[in-house]
Structure 1
Amino acid sequence: MTPNGTGPNPNAVKMAAALRALQKLQDKHHGVVESKDLSDEQRDLLVGTGFLKPVLKGWFICGNPKDLPGDTTAWYASYWPFLSGYLTKRFGKRYCLNPEASLLLHTGNTTVPRQVTVVTKQGGTQVVKLPFETSVLVYPDEKRVPKTRADVRGLQVWPVAEALCLVGPQFFTHHSREAEIALAMVRDPSELLTTLLAGEGMPTAASRLAGAMAFVGRTQDSAAIVNTMKSARVHVQPKNPFELEQPTLPPSRERSPYILRLRSLWSSWRQVVIDNFPPAPGLARDIEAYVHQVEERYRSDAYNSLSIEGYQVTEELIERVAKNGWDPENNEEDNASRDAMAARGYFQAFGAVKESIRRILVGGNPGYILKADHREWYSELFGPAVAAGILKRHQLAGYRTGPIFIRNSMHTPLPRDALLDSMEELFRLIAEEPEASVRAVLGHHLFVFIHPYFDGNGRIGRFMMNALLASGGYPWTVVRVARRQQYMDALELASVKGDIAPLTRFLAEELQAEPEARGAAE
């Protein structure tokens, strides 16, 4: 109200107007804001309240007022939209990412890079410093901006085949997974030969690509490159640029970079898991005794798993909701309690997971069972929020319908249009994997890597891990909140650096913790 109490507070009116203006910009420019897009008053108000975060002089991104200093989430979440908006506003379409950066985007690399190289048709060389030690190197070279470009994430990039011809041998050693995926995305060697035969020909690149094709098992395509170049009087001697002992991808007709990445990760990681995880005891013979042990772990698991996600959970709350002492319709405290809803949902989901485990213990294929049951787990996990009117019923229907970001992670979960195929592939990999340890560790991590839901991915991922541990006779394993940072660091190393060993060893340690420690609500 105004001082005399006759109307709305003018500061509130200004704030509402600024937020409306920001919402329009967010919808139009994906949260990338230039100074001139807002009035000085609106911009200062939004920056002061934390709704806008400065990136560089004259440029901003949308922020969350609750973010603490040093929180990287807003920047990593906005990185690609910012880069697209910034480059488009500066150069229109008169630019292109260099071949290396182009291939990383084409192949679904999900990590925010430290630096991206951009080639423009005019201007000067410049290093644009961005938040959290990221940057953009811009330099002019009209000959390195192709006439035909692809658009990935709103950015101008080289087409896959042309980029493969232009990258040096270091790309195949430093980014071997992306190189394999890019080769798999090339349907026919003619796509490469168009570039390899241009001008005076590219014998070194042709030798490299012929060797690469032979390494990944496409011997006919390798021979086609050699023979076609020979017909053009260019001598080519195939040379394998990879330093891998064997390819991580078998030849296939699959062209989705996300499915190819999942296959490559699984293939290259499975032996690491086997080497760093205890051998499976074997499927439990006494099903009821095993399920009883699972039930005994409920209190500890609920406390630790919910606490890892940031819920303020007490032993009393867990006990109360486990005994159905939760009534959102008639109890005002329960209706307003996010923590109570989370605890009740966890209790219901835990029960659904137990039933899935029973089916696994009688010999069902764990991949098929998880594929069929994980949606029910999710529905039970968030059913109380629907009952309380916090979520709409349709939000229980399926996977997320938009982007999502993991707090302070450089890993960007898969885009919505890749979710269905990627989840289908994940369950196929689980179903065909003979080692329970591999199913449990990689099933857990790759589910979180994909991040198919708007919320609950960590909890569902840990449920999945324990159901898959049961498929090898391992005990239900609690990831303790006291070790939350080690857990998050290990997940980040696997997602960003491609190193699954720390997560494998971490989960093995939690598996082998003394029962007292495993059950402690630390």
Structure 2
Amino acid sequence: MATPNEKLAASLSMLKGLRDQGITVFQASAHPELTRVHRERLVKANFLKAIIPGWYLPNNPTDGDGDSTHWYANMEAFVAAYATARFGRDWEVNPDLSLLRHSGYTSVGKQIVIHALKANNQLLQLPHGCSVFLYQVKRGTLAMRRTTSPTGLVLISVAEALVRVGPVFFERQPLAAQIVLRQVDLTDLIAALLAGGHSVISGRMSGALRAVGRAGDADQLIATLKAAGYVVTEVNPFEKPLAHIAGRLDESPYVQRIKAMWASMRELVVDRFANIPRGAPTDVDALIRDISARYVADAYHSLSIEGYRVSAALIEKIRAGDWSPLTNPEDRQTQEAMAAKGYEETHKRVRALIARVVENSENAVDALRKDFFQWYVTLFSPSVAAGILKPEDLAGYRNSQVFIRHALHVPLSPEAVRQCMPTLFELLAAEEHPGVRAVLGHFIFVFIHPYMDGNGRLSRFLMNALLTTGGYLWTIVTVQSRKQYLEALEQASTYGNIVPFADLICGLVEAQAAQPLERITQRPESGDWTAPPTAKGAP
């Protein structure tokens, strides 16, 4: 007779077979091989969670009940699978969400509206406060042209969604509206307007096109509609002037979004730096001594933010060269030691770059552009030396999707990462204010999330390289501010609100500049800097 462990192993084998087919959510009736016995066994062992009756999601058994990360990563896949199972091809998401996705907005929408012919105006409650509303539409009202998102959602084409969306969209989502208006094909837009006889909406579209810099296209739209017998009164639907987006109209929406965020956020950051004094970094030796003196505290706080359990003794051991994964099995197996060793080696590299920039009056961004990729390699080389990572893991930008624990913001796709990283360095090079370069450089880097791991540490190295070469002191983001730090990044990423993040970073710059170095680098009263165990998932 099989033991309980053998029975669970058999159920896990069945689940693995389904996962190997690329299935991420399961409708029980569609997979008879996943029998009731298998399902009950997997649910009890926390390898499977019920979403709604009859639908299940594979689960990491170590995740707590309040951990939303896995659900957020799979919510849209569930909605798409559920809608397809129930409505076949006769469904699509509402025009608002269609335009958000077309504009490069990646954050999770906790409430999704589905338009379907056979819907019943039902609100379906989902885990973690999410929901989907099934809105019934009349035959003939589904979009003529549609696309499918990477998660399976059926999106209305840009032109048809612009015609269908209400004027409030331009007030609440001006950035998304600006991006899709820059990329919409004028012929498709005019065809959608003529097909529906939309004279009022034509006035809104002509005003919107003119507002985003397409004056010639706005004139052509008006002329065409008037030739077809419509009266068009132009109206600008945007409440406020739009942020300037440089570059081609047909650039990647992700690139356009990053450029627009930078343009709209920079003045807020400039204002926050207005009363923070800065000097001219000319004494290279003094600057490097100051940065080196902060190293142990900086390493402790930065690694602790990431969830590593590190102590001052471990950091000092590594700095003294007593870490040897080839001869000491304990060092070879200790993840904390590898993380701290990588941090120490990268810190050296960053210090060397800062010294070169200041001593030779180099352009900081040009120097960063040449050296930055090696920071990632240096950060994770100890893991390769210890045999935990393969050498090819150091190749470069990630090739798969990642998600941030407890965050609605979803980092960019691997393809978009490769489009946006050059844009980040272009924005850094064009920016004159060193404080803006540091704060927005940090934020945009985390927003893109180019690597599978290490993004938080690298973003803080980037920030401090730009602060110190710009005349400010090396500033430690403390583990005590971790919650505020992550929440501020989420506000900026998902809601476009940079103020909390700018306030936090500038507040730390001010506070640490006003304190004696001994105060910043001293250990807590406990005598040890061992961080409390926390789940990883910092940016």
Pick the TM interval, shorter chain.
over 0.9
State whether residues 382 and 396 of structure 1, in contact with CA within 8 Å, keep that contact through their aligned partners in structure 2.
Answer: yes
Residue type of the alignment partner of 2:195: A
Residue aligning to 2:530: none
Residue aligning to 1:209: 205
User: Quick one: distance in 2 between partners of 1:270 and 1:484?
Assistant: 24
> How do residues 292-441 of structure 1 correspond to structure 2 at under 5 angstroms?
292-361=289-358, 362-441=360-439
User: Quick one: distance in 2 between partners of 1:521 and 1:226?
Assistant: 69
State whether residues 328 and 388 of structure 1, in contact with CA within 8 Å, keep that contact through their aligned partners in structure 2.
Answer: yes
Residue type of the alignment partner of 1:413: P
Residue aligning to 1:474: 472
Residue type of the alignment partner of 1:122: K
User: Quick one: distance in 1 between partners of 2:207 and 2:388?
Assistant: 57
State whether residues 181 and 260 of structure 1, in contact with CA within 8 Å, keep that contact through their aligned partners in structure 2.
Answer: yes
2:483 is matched with which residue: 464, 479, 485? 485
Q: What SS class does the counterpart of residue 225 from structure 1 fall into?
A: helix
State whether residues 146 and 154 of structure 2, in contact with CA within 8 Å, keep that contact through their aligned partners in structure 1.
Answer: yes
State whether residues 53 and 61 of structure 1, in contact with CA within 8 Å, keep that contact through their aligned partners in structure 2.
Answer: yes
State whether residues 479 and 510 of structure 1, in contact with CA within 8 Å, keep that contact through their aligned partners in structure 2.
Answer: yes
Residue type of the alignment partner of 1:219: A
User: Quick one: distance in 2 between partners of 1:58 and 1:366?
Assistant: 57
Q: What SS class does the counterpart of residue 191 from structure 1 fall into?
A: helix
- Tell me which moved more, 396-405 or 117-126: 117-126
The answer to whether 1:68 aligns with 2:61 is no
The answer to whether 1:145 aligns with 2:142 is yes
User: Quick one: distance in 2 between partners of 1:363 and 1:251?
Assistant: 30
- Tell me which moved more, 459-468 or 135-144: 135-144
Q: Report deviation, 1:33.
A: 1.8
Residue type of the alignment partner of 1:329: L
User: Quick one: distance in 2 between partners of 1:15 and 1:353?
Assistant: 49
> How do residues 30-45 of structure 1 correspond to structure 2 at under 5 angstroms?
30-36=23-29, 37=31, 38-45=34-41
- Tell me which moved more, 361-370 or 256-265: 361-370
Q: Report deviation, 1:145.
A: 1.3
Cα separation, partners in 2 of 1:28 and 1:108, compared to 1, 3 Å? farther
Cα separation, partners in 2 of 1:389 and 1:503, compared to 1, 3 Å? same
State whether residues 25 and 32 of structure 1, in contact with CA within 8 Å, keep that contact through their aligned partners in structure 2.
Answer: no
Q: Report deviation, 1:413.
A: 0.5
Q: Report deviation, 1:303.
A: 0.3
Residue aligning to 1:26: 19
Q: Could you state the TM-score of these two structures normalised by the residue count of structure 1?
A: 0.95
User: Quick one: distance in 2 between partners of 1:520 and 1:78?
Assistant: 44
> How do residues 177-196 of structure 1 correspond to structure 2 at under 5 angstroms?
177-186=175-184, 188-196=185-193
Cα separation, partners in 2 of 1:473 and 1:256, compared to 1, 3 Å? same
Q: Report deviation, 1:516.
A: 4.8
Residue aligning to 2:217: 221
State whether residues 107 and 494 of structure 2, in contact with CA within 8 Å, keep that contact through their aligned partners in structure 1.
Answer: yes
Residue aligning to 1:459: 457
2:4 is matched with which residue: 4, 11, 15? 11
The answer to whether 1:231 aligns with 2:222 is no
Cα separation, partners in 2 of 1:473 and 1:430, compared to 1, 3 Å? same
State whether residues 283 and 470 of structure 1, in contact with CA within 8 Å, keep that contact through their aligned partners in structure 2.
Answer: no
Q: What SS class does the counterpart of residue 440 from structure 1 fall into?
A: helix
Residue type of the alignment partner of 2:309: Q
User: Quick one: distance in 1 between partners of 2:252 and 2:81?
Assistant: 26
User: Quick one: distance in 2 between partners of 1:349 and 1:337?
Assistant: 19
1:10-51 deviation line (CA, Å, top 9, x unaligned)? 333333332232233334345212224312222222222222
User: Quick one: distance in 1 between partners of 2:84 and 2:206?
Assistant: 36
Q: What SS class does the counterpart of residue 134 from structure 2 fall into?
A: strand
User: Quick one: distance in 1 between partners of 2:250 and 2:424?
Assistant: 15
Unaligned runs of 5+ in 2: 525-539
State whether residues 24 and 74 of structure 2, in contact with CA within 8 Å, keep that contact through their aligned partners in structure 1.
Answer: yes
Q: What SS class does the counterpart of residue 144 from structure 1 fall into?
A: coil
Kindly report structure 1 stretches of 4+ aligned residues shifted beyond 4 Å: none
Q: Report deviation, 1:476.
A: 0.5
User: Quick one: distance in 2 between partners of 1:402 and 1:384?
Assistant: 23
Residue aligning to 1:519: 521
Q: Could you state the TM-score of these two structures normalised by the residue count of structure 2?
A: 0.92
Residue type of the alignment partner of 2:201: A
- Tell me which moved more, 254-263 or 166-175: 254-263
Q: What SS class does the counterpart of residue 114 from structure 2 fall into?
A: strand
User: Quick one: distance in 1 between partners of 2:241 and 2:289?
Assistant: 45
How many positions carry a matched residue from both structures? 513
State whether residues 174 and 242 of structure 2, in contact with CA within 8 Å, keep that contact through their aligned partners in structure 1.
Answer: no
User: Quick one: distance in 2 between partners of 1:102 and 1:520?
Assistant: 52
Q: Report deviation, 1:231.
A: 0.7
State whether residues 349 and 377 of structure 1, in contact with CA within 8 Å, keep that contact through their aligned partners in structure 2.
Answer: yes
User: Quick one: distance in 1 between partners of 2:469 and 2:207?
Assistant: 41
State whether residues 216 and 250 of structure 1, in contact with CA within 8 Å, keep that contact through their aligned partners in structure 2.
Answer: no
User: Quick one: distance in 2 between partners of 1:147 and 1:246?
Assistant: 30
User: Quick one: distance in 1 between partners of 2:73 and 2:465?
Assistant: 31
Q: What SS class does the counterpart of residue 128 from structure 2 fall into?
A: coil
Q: Report deviation, 1:279.
A: 4.8
> How do residues 225-264 of structure 1 correspond to structure 2 at under 5 angstroms?
225-250=221-246, 252-264=248-260
Q: What SS class does the counterpart of residue 132 from structure 1 fall into?
A: helix
> How do residues 128-167 of structure 1 correspond to structure 2 at under 5 angstroms?
128-141=124-137, 142-153=139-150, 154-167=152-165
Q: Report deviation, 1:430.
A: 0.7
User: Quick one: distance in 2 between partners of 1:33 and 1:324?
Assistant: 51
Q: Report deviation, 1:520.
A: 4.4
Unaligned runs of 5+ in 1: 3-8
